[in-house]
Each structure stands twice: as C-alpha cells, then as structure tokens.
Amino acid sequence: MAESTFAGHRLVVAHDVVRATEQSAKRRARIKEQEDFAEKLVKKLDGQDEGLSEKGRRASDRGAYSRFTRSIAEAELTRFIKADYESEIFSYWLDEEAILKAERFDGKLALVTNVQDFSAEEVVLRYKALADIERGFRVLKSDLEIAPVYHRLPDRIRAHALICFIALVLYRVMRMRLKEHGSKASPKTALEILNRIQKHKATVGTKEFIGISKTTREQLDLFSALEIVAPK
C-alpha cells in the first residue's frame, strides 16, 4: 500500500502480489495460444509449398494474415502481438515492451479520492465494496435477467426492490456453496442444468400419476453442492 498526490487529490495504490502473478501468467498463456495458432497456419503454408495438400480451401499468406489478426483481436491481444503486413510471407512478432509494461500494472489498484478522513486501507476497502455492489447490479441485469418494471405506488416499488435483493442474496449463497464444494459451475450454469429437470403429471381415469424426469449425475452433484435435497 502506497500513497501520494495527483492533481490535488490523494492517490492510493494497492498491490496484490498473488493477483499480479496470476494475471501475468494468464496473459502469457493467452499469448502462447495465439503463437500455437500461428504455427499451425505456418505449417499449412509450408506444407503447400512442399507439395503436401490438405482438405479444404487452399491457404494463402493473405488469408493467414486475416485469420490471425481476427483471432488476436477476439483474444484482445492486439497490443502485444503484431502481424508484419509488410512481409511477403505470413509472419508476426511479439511486442515484449508492451507485455512488460502491462505486467508492471498487474495486481495494482490505483485510486484517486478527495476523502481525507479515511486511511489508505479504508479507501481501498470502500472502493472494493462499491465494486461488489456494481457486480451485483450486473448479475441482476444479466444472469438473473431482472427486466425493468415501472411502478408508481411506493409499496410496489419497495416490493420490487425486495424481490431483486432476495434474488441477489440467493445467487450469492449459490456461488458460495458451489465454490466451497469445489464445483466449477457458476450459479447461472447450475440453474441452466437444473432447469432441465421436468415434472410430469398424467391422469388415467380417476387416477393421477406424478413424477419427474430422470436426474443425471451432474444434476445430483449440484444438488449436493447446493445442500438441497434432490427431488424424488
């Protein structure tokens, strides 16, 4: 934790060594995936030059440029991987300076504030709490798909807010339990998998038969992780 001034305000910088290591490793792994893809394109081009043909359309250097640049753009790595368009044959290079510059910022959180009565640690904690609230709103809009509803009466406004709050609490509890049991599924994925269970009701004469579809091992594992009794 360090503190300085910027534009007349307090500048608080926090550094997490573990997070920095993880971020750098993930970036390097993503870059390696693109390098492997480039090697695959080069191998196909070299094979054609040696008279070895493969199934599908004939590859070209321009086509390799197009596929590679699209791939690195989708991976959001255009800052670090540069295709050499001036070369007659397909080639690329890594901007090691840009990679090292990005790694210098890994694990760091820089905050500018005009609050004077909080310590640097309190500033960081308050910001993280705010970020957690913002993530909650994103979950409500995306995973939980809470659609906008316009109310006029105060009781209905409070009821709608309460429903949203309860849904978010249940989502957080699901995420916590899944993580504690080592499940890799997110709450959204878990709900999608469990939503496949169907309840059937059939009436034959005066008799009524009720049952559910056969549950899979994956669904039973999710019930166990969520500490919920599986339906019979």
- Write out the DSSP string of 5-34: EETTEEEEEEE-HHHHHHHHHHHHHHHHHH
- Shared domain check, 149 and 232: yes
Q: Please tell me whether residues 151 and 79 are part of one structural domain.
A: no
> Residues 200-213: what's their mean pLDDT?
89
CA dist 183 to 26, 32, 45, 112, Å? 21, 27, 42, 37
Name the helix (H) or strand (E) containing 191.
helix 187-194
Long-range contacts of 94-101 (CB under 8 A, 24+ apart): 94/31, 94/35, 99/27, 99/28, 99/31
43 lies in some domain: yes
CA-based max dimension of the chain: 82
What span, in angstroms and rounded, lies between the C-alpha atoms of 156 and 18? 46
CB 225 within 8 A of CB 181: yes
- Interhelix angle 187-194/154-180, rounded to 10 degrees, is 90
Last residue of one domain, picked from the residues 105, 131, 153? 105
CA pair distance 168, 140, nearest whole angstrom:
7
- Is residue 232 included in any domain, yes or no? yes
Q: Which of 9-23, 50-64, 127-141 has the lowest mean pLDDT?
A: 50-64
Q: Which residue has the higher pLDDT, 13 or 140?
A: 13
166 occurs within a structural domain: yes
Element (H, E) at 171: helix 154-180
Angle 17-49/96-105 helices, nearest 10 degrees? Answer: 160
Instruction: Provide the domain limits for residue 55.
Output: 17-105
| pLDDT (average), residues 203-224 | 90
Q: Could you tell me if residue 159 is inside a domain?
A: yes
Residue 190: Cβ-neighbour burial (10 angstroms; 0-12, 13-18, 19+): buried
Give me the amino acid identity at 116: Q
- Indicate whether 100 and 160 sit together in one domain: no
The structural domain count of the chain equals 2
Cβ within 8 Å of residue 130, ≥6 positions away = none
Co-location of 232 and 159 in the same domain: yes
Within this chain, do residues 149 and 199 fall inside the same structural domain, yes or no?
A: yes
The pLDDT assigned to 51 comes to 67
Single residue among 84, 105, 126 that ends a domain in this structure: 105
Of the pLDDT bands very low, low, confident and very high (cuts 50, 70, 90), residue 218 is very high
Does the residue 4 lie in any domain? no
Whether residue 121 lies inside any domain: the answer is no
Residues 153 and 71 both lie in one domain: no
Residue entry with tokens 């599986």: 230
Do the domain assignments include residue 125?
Answer: no
Task: Tell me what pLDDT residue 226 has.
Answer: 92
Beta bridge partners of residue 210, listed in sequence order: 201
Same domain? 26 vs 97: yes
CA distance 75 to 58: 25
Strand partners, 200: 211
Say if residue 161 is in the same domain as residue 222: yes
149 and 227 co-located in one domain: yes
* pLDDT(215) > 70: yes
Query: Do 96 and 174 sit in the same domain of this protein?
Result: no
The end-to-end CA distance of the chain, in Å, is 54
The verdict on residue 120 lying in a domain is: no
120 vs 48, which has greater pLDDT?
120
Q: pTM for this structure?
A: 0.54
Identify the pLDDT of residue 225: 92
Looking at the fold, whether 101 and 147 belong to one and the same domain comes out as no
Residues 149 and 215 in one domain: yes
